[in-house]
C-alpha cells in the first residue's frame, strides 16, 4: 500500500510540475555577447543563406554568439505576439511597420535606429517611410514589394488581350474578352478579407492625393470624399463580375482551389497580389514551377478623375528591428543584414526584393524585375492600409470591404466602419 | 510518503482524530492535482478574461486604461456579435430538431437484429470519431465551387448548385454548415440512444408483445418514453456544443461569407487574436460564458430536474 501511494504521489507531483512549470526559455539572454535572431526563411536556400550570414558575422566579431531561429511565418507571428506581451522580445526580429510598429514603439519595445543606421536609412530612401514614427526610423526594410496584377500571358494571348491594361476601361475590356473566350478573368481570395481589401486600397490610392492619405494615416481621418469615390470604383469592378465562382469563401493562398492556386493552374487569367505571388504559386503546383515562363505582371491601372498619382503604388515588406535592451552588437548585425553583399545574396536566392539600390540588379526573374522597376520609379509606395492603420482599424476596414464585395455594404458604409474603428483608437 | 509518518502516528494513540486527519489528507492529496489544473487552465483564464473586459487594451504594455463596462456596451450593440448569437441559437435549435428525430429513428432501427448491424453502427459513428478539423477540411474540399465533388455530382445529374458555391453564398452557408455538423454529430446521438435502449428491460417488450402490441406500438409506447432521460441528457450536451461551436466553422467558412456564419467563438477570435482588441474579446467571452451558464442552469432546473430527482 505505502508503495502504491508513493508512486501515485510521485505521479501527481510530476503532473503538477509539468502543468505549472512552463520552463522559461529565456530568449533574451542578458549578456551583451549573445544575439537572438528570429526570421521566417525556414526553407533552403534562405535558411542556409541566413545561417552562413550569421556565421560570417560571428567570425567578424569574435566572442559574439548569434542564436538564429528560423520558423514558419505563421508560427513566428504567434510567437512574436506572445513575446511582445511578455516583454521578452528577441534581439533582432521582423517588423511589418505601420500601426503595429507604432504600438510597439509606444510600449517601449523597439529601439530607435535613426542614428546608428543613418547611412543605410539614406540608401533605402522613401521605402523606409512605413517604419518611421514621429520622424524616427525603428526598423530597416530588407524586402519591399508592390501589389499588382499577376497574369497568365498565354491566356491573355488566347483571349486577344494584346497589351496589359493601363486604364480601368482597358481592364474592363480585358474582362469582356476573357469572358468571351470562356476564361474566368480574375481570382480573388475574399475569404481572407485582405485580398479583397487590396482593391479598395488601390482605388483609394488612385482617388486620394498623397496629402490626404498622409493625413488619414497620421490623424486617422477619413472625411475626405475621395474615400467614398474609392468605394464607388470598387462597386464598378464588382459589378463587372470578373471573379471566380465562390470568391467570397475562396482562401488566398492555400491549395489548388485558392486564388493563387487557380492562377497557378491556369483556371483564371489574373490575380491582384503582392510580390510573394510567384513563390506562392511555385509552392502550390506539383512541378514547383508555378506559372513558369507564362508569368506576367502589370501595375494597377489608372482611374479616371482621381486626385491620386497613377504611378503611386501600394506595397509593403519586412524590416529588421532591434528590441529595446538588446546588445549594441545587435544593431551591427542588422546593419550587416542590409549591407550590399547580404542584400545581393538575398536577391540571388530569390528571397525577396532588396531595398538597397546596389542589390537591385541581382533580381533575375523578369516579372519580378519589372515589378522592382515600377517600385523604384513610383513617386511613393503606400504601405498596405491595414498595416498602416494597425490591426484594430485595419481589421474593421477589411471586414467591411469584404462585405461590400458580397453586396452587403455601400461605399459609405466602408468609410463609416473604418472611421468608427479609428475613433476608438484616438 | 505521508503514509509512513501516518502509521507511526497511529501508535501514539489518538486513533479517531488521526483517522479523520488522514482521510482529509488523502482527499486533499488526490484532489489537489485536479484542482490545480482546473485553477490554472479554467479558473485563471476565466478570471483573466473578465479582468481584460474592463480595460481598453491592445495586448502591449500595462493594463491601465480602465473603462468600466464600455466594452460590454459595445459588444452588445455590435450587429456582428448579435448576428453571431443568432447563428449560435440557430445551430442550437437546428441541431436538436434535425438530429433528435433522425438519431432516435436510426437508433431504433439499429437496435433490431439484422444483417450488417455492426457495419452500419460503425458507419454512423465514424464521422464523430474523426477530428473536427480533418472532417472540416474534407468537407471544404468536397464543397468547392465548380471543382468540388458535390458540385460535380449535382451538375452530373442536371441540378445546378448555388452560383457562388455552397460556402460562398451568404444565404445558404449557415445551412450547409448545419448539415455538416449534423453529419458529424449524428453518430454521438445514435450511440447514446442505443446505449439508452440497452437499458430498457426485455420483460417490458415481452409484456407488450403478450398484450398484442405491434413493433411500432412497442417503440412508441415503450422504447421512446423510456429513452427520455437519455434524450434529455443528449439535448444538454448538444446545446453546450452548439453554443461553443468553433472548429468546424473556422475551417469551413471562417465566419464568412459576409459574416453569414459567425458564432460567438469566431467573433472573439477575430476581435482578440486578429485585431488585438483584447478588451472587446474579453467582454465577448464573458457574455458567451454567461449565456452558456444561464442556458445550462435553466435546463438543469427545468428539464433535467426530474431525472436527477429520480436518481436521488
The torsion angle over the Cα atoms of residues A353, A359, A364 and A365, rounded to 10 degrees, is 10
User: Are B161 and B154 in contact, with CB atoms under 8 Å apart?
Assistant: yes
Nearest CA in chain A to B6: A2
Q: Count of domains in chain B?
A: 2
- List % helix, strand, coil for chain B (3-state, nearest 5): 75, 0, 25
Residue numbers in A near B173 (CB within 8 A): 249
Spatial separation of the C-alpha atoms in residues A37 and B161, rounded to whole Å? 50
Residues A323 and A296 in one domain: no
- pLDDT tens figures, A357-409: 888 888 888 888 889 989 988 888 899 999 999 888 999 999 999 999 999 99
Residues A167 and A258 in one domain: yes
Nearest CA in chain B to A21: B40
Instruction: Read off the CATH number of the domain in which A325 is found.
Output: 3.40.190.10
Q: What pLDDT score was predicted for residue A25?
A: 38
Question: With 0-12 CB in 10 A as exposed, 13-18 as middle and 19+ as buried, what is B116?
Answer: exposed
Residues B95 and B43 in one domain: no
Q: Would you say residue A106 lies in a domain?
A: yes
Residues B127 and B218 in one domain: yes
CA distance A317 to chain B (A): 19
Angle between helices A411-425 and A226-239 (to 10 degrees): 140
Angle between helices B79-110 and B117-129 (to 10 degrees): 160
DSSP state of A223: -
Q: Would you say residue B235 lies in a domain?
A: yes
CB contact under 8 A, B33 and A108: no
Residues A198 and A300 in one domain: yes
Q: What pLDDT score was predicted for residue B208?
A: 87
Residues A216 and A227 in one domain: yes
Residues A333 and A393 in one domain: no
Residues A279 and A404 in one domain: yes
Residue B23 structural domain: 2-52
Out of A107, A247, A406, whose CB is closest to B170?
A: A406
Spatial separation of the C-alpha atoms in residues A216 and B256, rounded to whole Å? 28
Q: What pLDDT score was predicted for residue A2?
A: 43
Considering only residues B214 and B260, tell me which one the structure prediction assigns the higher pLDDT.
Answer: B260
Residues A55 and A172 in one domain: no
When pLDDT is averaged across residues A260-287 and rounded to a whole number, the result is 90
Q: Where are the beta strands (DSSP E) in A168-234?
A: 184-186
Which residue among B11, B35, B52 closes a domain?
B52
CB contact under 8 A, A20 and B36: yes
CB contact under 8 A, B256 and A109: no
Q: Would you say residue A274 lies in a domain?
A: yes
Which residue among A345, A369, A393 closes a domain?
A369
- pLDDT tens figures, A157-199: 999 999 999 999 999 999 999 999 999 999 999 988 899 999 9
Considering only residues B251 and A22, tell me which one the structure prediction assigns the higher pLDDT.
Answer: B251
Q: Would you say residue A8 lies in a domain?
A: no
Q: Which of A13-17, B4-8, B139-143 has the highest mean pLDDT?
A: B139-143
When pLDDT is averaged across residues A282-307 and rounded to a whole number, the result is 88
Q: What pLDDT score was predicted for residue B2?
A: 43
Residues B207 and B257 in one domain: yes
Q: What pLDDT score was predicted for residue B308?
A: 67
Q: Would you say residue A193 lies in a domain?
A: yes
Biggest CA pair distance of chain B: 89
Residue A233 structural domain: 148-313+384-425
Out of B7, B169, B276, whose CB is closest to A392?
A: B276
Indicate the average pLDDT of chain A: 87
Residues A117 and A185 in one domain: no
CB contact under 8 A, A246 and B164: yes
Residue numbers in B near A106 (CB within 8 A): 60-61
When pLDDT is averaged across residues B122-147 and rounded to a whole number, the result is 91
Q: What pLDDT score was predicted for residue B127?
A: 93
Best residue in A2, A16, A85, A246 for a mutation probing chain B (most B CBs within 10 Å) = A246
User: Are B68 and B156 in contact, with CB atoms under 8 Å apart?
Assistant: no
Query: Would the pLDDT of A30 be above 90?
Result: no
Q: Which residue has the cell 550587416?
A: A336
Q: Would you say residue B70 lies in a domain?
A: no
Residues B172 and B212 in one domain: yes
**pLDDT band (50, 70, 90) for residue B286:** very high
Residues B282 and B233 in one domain: yes
Instruction: Read off the CATH number of the domain in which B150 is found.
Output: 1.10.3720.10
Residues A117 and A171 in one domain: no
Of residues A378, A68, A331, the one with CA closest to residue A210: A378
Q: Would you say residue A19 lies in a domain?
A: no
Residues A179 and A125 in one domain: no
Out of A16, A81, A249, whose CB is closest to B167?
A: A249
When pLDDT is averaged across residues B194-213 and rounded to a whole number, the result is 87
Which residue among B10, B36, B52 closes a domain?
B52
Q: What pLDDT score was predicted for residue B15?
A: 58
Give this complex's ipTM: 0.80
Q: Would you say residue A244 lies in a domain?
A: yes
Spatial separation of the C-alpha atoms in residues A361 and A405, rounded to whole Å? 39
Q: Count of domains in chain A?
A: 2
Q: Would you say residue B58 lies in a domain?
A: no
Question: Which grid cell sits at A341?
Answer: 553583399
Nearest CA in chain A to B31: A12
- pLDDT tens figures, A94-133: 999 998 899 899 889 999 999 899 888 988 888 888 899 8
Q: Would you say residue A286 lies in a domain?
A: yes
**pLDDT band (50, 70, 90) for residue B146:** confident
Residues B197 and B137 in one domain: yes
Residues A108 and A152 in one domain: no
Query: Would the pLDDT of A216 be above 50?
Result: yes
Best residue in B35, B168, B251 for a mutation probing chain A (most A CBs within 10 Å) = B168
DSSP state of A383: E
Q: Would you say residue B63 lies in a domain?
A: no
Residues B45 and B103 in one domain: no
DSSP string, B95-133: HHHHHHHHHHHHHHHHTS--TTHHHHHHHHHHHHHS-HH
Residues A43 and A111 in one domain: yes
Residues B112 and B252 in one domain: yes
Q: Would you say residue B74 lies in a domain?
A: no
Residues B24 and B125 in one domain: no
Q: Would you say residue A238 lies in a domain?
A: yes
User: Are B180 and A293 in contact, with CB atoms under 8 Å apart?
Assistant: no
Instruction: Please tell me the number of Cα atoms within 13 Å of B133 on its side-chain side.
Output: 0
Q: Which residue has the cell 473578465?
A: B50
Residues B39 and B83 in one domain: no
**pLDDT band (50, 70, 90) for residue B310:** low
Residues B282 and B137 in one domain: yes
Residues B201 and B240 in one domain: yes
Q: Would you say residue B109 lies in a domain?
A: yes
Q: Would you say residue B141 lies in a domain?
A: yes
When pLDDT is averaged across residues A25-35 and rounded to a whole number, the result is 61
Amino acid at each position: 500500500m505505502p508503495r502504491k501511494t508513493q508512486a501515485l504521489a510521485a505521479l501527481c507531483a510530476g503532473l503538477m510540475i509539468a502543468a505549472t512549470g512552463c520552463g522559461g526559455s529565456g530568449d533574451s539572454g542578458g549578456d551583451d555577447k549573445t544575439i537572438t535572431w528570429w526570421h521566417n526563411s525556414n526553407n533552403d536556400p534562405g535558411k542556409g543563406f541566413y545561417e552562413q550570414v550569421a556565421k560570417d558575422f560571428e567570425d567578424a566579431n569574435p566572442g559574439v554568439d548569434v542564436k538564429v531561429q528560423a520558423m514558419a511565418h505563421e508560427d513566428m507571428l504567434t510567437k512574436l505576439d506572445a513575446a511582445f506581451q511578455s516583454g521578452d522580445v528577441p534581439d533582432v526580429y521582423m517588423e511589418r511597420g505601420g500601426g503595429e510598429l507604432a504600438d510597439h514603439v509606444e510600449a517601449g519595445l523597439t529601439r530607435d535606429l535613426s542614428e546608428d543606421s543613418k547611412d543605410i536609412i539614406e540608401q533605402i530612401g522613401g521605402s523606409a517611410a512605413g517604419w518611421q514614427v514621429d520622424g524616427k526610423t525603428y526598423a530597416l526594410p530588407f524586402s519591399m514589394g508592390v501589389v499588382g496584377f499577376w497574369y497568365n500571358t498565354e491566356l491573355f494571348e488566347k483571349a486577344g488581350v494584346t497589351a496589359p491594361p493601363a486604364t480601368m476601361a482597358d481592364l474592363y475590356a480585358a474582362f469582356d474578352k476573357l469572358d468571351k473566350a470562356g476564361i474566368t478573368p480574375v481570382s480573388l481570395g475574399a475569404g481572407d478579407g485582405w485580398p479583397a481589401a487590396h482593391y479598395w486600397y488601390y482605388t483609394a490610392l488612385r482617388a486620394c492625393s498623397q496629402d490626404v492619405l498622409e493625413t488619414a494615416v497620421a490623424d486617422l481621418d477619413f472625411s475626405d470624399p475621395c474615400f467614398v469615390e474609392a468605394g464607388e470604383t470598387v462597386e464598378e469592378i464588382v459589378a463587372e463580375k470578373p471573379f471566380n465562382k465562390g470568391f467570397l469563401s475562396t482562401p488566398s493562398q492555400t491549395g489548388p482551389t485558392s486564388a493563387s492556386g487557380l492562377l497557378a493552374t491556369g483556371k483564371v487569367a489574373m490575380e491582384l497580389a503582392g510580390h510573394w505571388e510567384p513563390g506562392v504559386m511555385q509552392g502550390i503546383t506539383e512541378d514547383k514551377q508555378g506559372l513558369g515562363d507564362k508569368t506576367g505582371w502589370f501595375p494597377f491601372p489608372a482611374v479616371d478623375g482621381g486626385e491620386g498619382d497613377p504611378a503611386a503604388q501600394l506595397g509593403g515588406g519586412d524590416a529588421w528591428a532591434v528590441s529595446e535592451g538588446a546588445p549594441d552588437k545587435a544593431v551591427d548585425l542588422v546593419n550587416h543584414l542590409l549591407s550590399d553583399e547580404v542584400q545581393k545574396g538575398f536577391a540571388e536566392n530569390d528571397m525577396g526584393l532588396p531595398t538597397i539600390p546596389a542589390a537591385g540588379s541581382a533580381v533575375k526573374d523578369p516579372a519580378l524585375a519589372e515589378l522592382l522597376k515600377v517600385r523604384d520609379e513610383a513617386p511613393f509606395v503606400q504601405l498596405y492600409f491595414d498595416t498602416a492603420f494597425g490591426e484594430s482599424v485595419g481589421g474593421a476596414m477589411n471586414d467591411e470591404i469584404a462585405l461590400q464585395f458580397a453586396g452587403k455594404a455601400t461605399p459609405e458604409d466602408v468609410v463609416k466602419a473604418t472611421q468608427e474603428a479609428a475613433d476608438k483608437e484616438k | 510518503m505521508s503514509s509512513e509518518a501516518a502509521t507511526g502516528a497511529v501508535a501514539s494513540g489518538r486513533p479517531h482524530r488521526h483517522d479523520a486527519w488522514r482521510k482529509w489528507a488523502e482527499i486533499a492529496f488526490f484532489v489537489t492535482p485536479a484542482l490545480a489544473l482546473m485553477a490554472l487552465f479554467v479558473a485563471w483564464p476565466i478570471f483573466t478574461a473578465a479582468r481584460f473586459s474592463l480595460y481598453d487594451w491592445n495586448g502591449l504594455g500595462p493594463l491601465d486604461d480602465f473603462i468600466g463596462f464600455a466594452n460590454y456596451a459595445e459588444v452588445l450593440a455590435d450587429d456582428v456579435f448579435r448576428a453571431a448569437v443568432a447563428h449560435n441559437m440557430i445551430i442550437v435549435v437546428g441541431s436538436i430538431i434535425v438530429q433528435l428525430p433522425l438519431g432516435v429513428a436510426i437508433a431504433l432501427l439499429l437496435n433490431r437484429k439484422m444483417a450488417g448491424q455492426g457495419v452500419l453502427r460503425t458507419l454512423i459513428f465514424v464521422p464523430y470519431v474523426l477530428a473536427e478539423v480533418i472532417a472540416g477540411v474534407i468537407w471544404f474540399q468536397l464543397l468547392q465551387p465548380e471543382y468540388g465533388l458535390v458540385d460535380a455530382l449535382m451538375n452530373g445529374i442536371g441540378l445546378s448548385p448555388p452560383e457562388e458555391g455552397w460556402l460562398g453564398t451568404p444565404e445558404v452557408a449557415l445551412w450547409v454548415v448545419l448539415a455538416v455538423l449534423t453529419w458529424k454529430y449524428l453518430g454521438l446521438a445514435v450511440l447514446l440512444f442505443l446505449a439508452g435502449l440497452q437499458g430498457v428491460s426485455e420483460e417490458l417488450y415481452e409484456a407488450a408483445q403478450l398484450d398484442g402490441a405491434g413493433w411500432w406500438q412497442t417503440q412508441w409506447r415503450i422504447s421512446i418514453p423510456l429513452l427520455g432521460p437519455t434524450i434529455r441528457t443528449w439535448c444538454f450536451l448538444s446545446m453546450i456544443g452548439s453554443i461553443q461551436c468553433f472548429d468546424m466553422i473556422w475551417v469551413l467558412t471562417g465566419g464568412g461569407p459576409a459574416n453569414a456564419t459567425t458564432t460567438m467563438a469566431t467573433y472573439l477570435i477575430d476581435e482578440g487574436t486578429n485585431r488585438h482588441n483584447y478588451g472587446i474579446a474579453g467582454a465577448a467571452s464573458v457574455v458567451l460564458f454567461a449565456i452558456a451558464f444561464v442556458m445550462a442552469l435553466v435546463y438543469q432546473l427545468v428539464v433535467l430536474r426530474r431525472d436527477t430527482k429520480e436518481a436521488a
